[in-house]
Amino acid sequence: MNQNLANFVGFQLGWFACILGAAHGRPWLGPLVVVAWLAPFVWISPRSRGDLATLLAAGLSSYLADSVLVLAGWLSFPSAAWGWPSTLWMVALWVNLAGTLRWSLSWLREHRAWSALLGSLGGPLAYAAGVRLGAVQLPAGAVSLVAVGVVWALAMPALLWLSRVCEAGALPREVKAT
């Protein structure tokens, strides 16, 4: 199977595992699936340290961004979710997306405007799908979706930038510093 196609399929599996796991009281399921599908991509990457740094930076960024949305009253989670203000499975969703930045979404690296547009539309659509599946609530309705859109319009270019910075700062696994 083509690596980009496998990466896209893994992303989809991770997304559904995170959302459906959270919606059905199994918030650990998504993070487990995300780690399981991302591990081979990090392993085969010639810049695995950079990829790992990207995933960790995305996780931290996501915790901060979604925590702001929660504290502002624009986002809330079912009581079974792990973590506060944001949750472990939401962090896993962002890490899941970050795992596509060098593979199936690599085409966005040179298109900041497209990445911002994709974020501003795709973010709210993904959160709205999470609402329909029972994993998240948007207490302020349309205002919540606008807030999510703004966060994601900023987050997508920022995640792509982080990916480039982390990749550039990491030595390939097979090259040793002298």
pLDDT in tens, 24-59: 999 999 999 999 999 988 888 777 888 899 999 999
Number of helices (H), then strands (E), belonging to the chain: the values are 6, 0
Of the candidate ranges 90-99, 138-147, 151-160, 166-175, the one whose mean pLDDT is the lowest: 166-175
Residue 35: inside a domain: yes
Residue-wise pLDDT tens digits, 17-26: 999 999 999 9
Grade residue 109 by pLDDT with cuts at 50, 70 and 90.
confident
Closest by Cα among 108, 82, 120, 121 to 161: 108
Grade residue 174 by pLDDT with cuts at 50, 70 and 90.
low
Instruction: Judge whether 22 and 77 are in contact, CB under 8 Å.
Output: yes
Instruction: Judge whether 147 and 74 are in contact, CB under 8 Å.
Output: yes
The pLDDT value given to residue 173: 52
Residue 163: inside a domain: yes
Written as six digits, the tokens of 62 are: 């996501």
Residue 29: inside a domain: yes
Residue 174: inside a domain: no
Distance of CA 150 to the CA centre of its chain: 16
The pLDDT value given to residue 60: 95
Instruction: Judge whether 110 and 22 are in contact, CB under 8 Å.
Output: no
Which residues have a Cβ under 8 Å from the Cβ of 171 and sit 6 or more positions away?
49, 177
Residue 116: inside a domain: yes
As for how many domains the chain has, the answer is 1
Distance in angstroms between the alpha carbons of the first and the last residue of the chain? 37
Residue 178: inside a domain: no
Report pTM: 0.87
Written as six digits, the tokens of 16 are: 């559904």
Instruction: Judge whether 162 and 61 are in contact, CB under 8 Å.
Output: yes
Residue 39: inside a domain: yes
Range 141-150 average pLDDT: 96
Residue 94: inside a domain: yes
Residue 95, pLDDT > 90, answer yes
**Could you list the residue range(s) of the whole structural domain that residue 33 is in?**
3-169
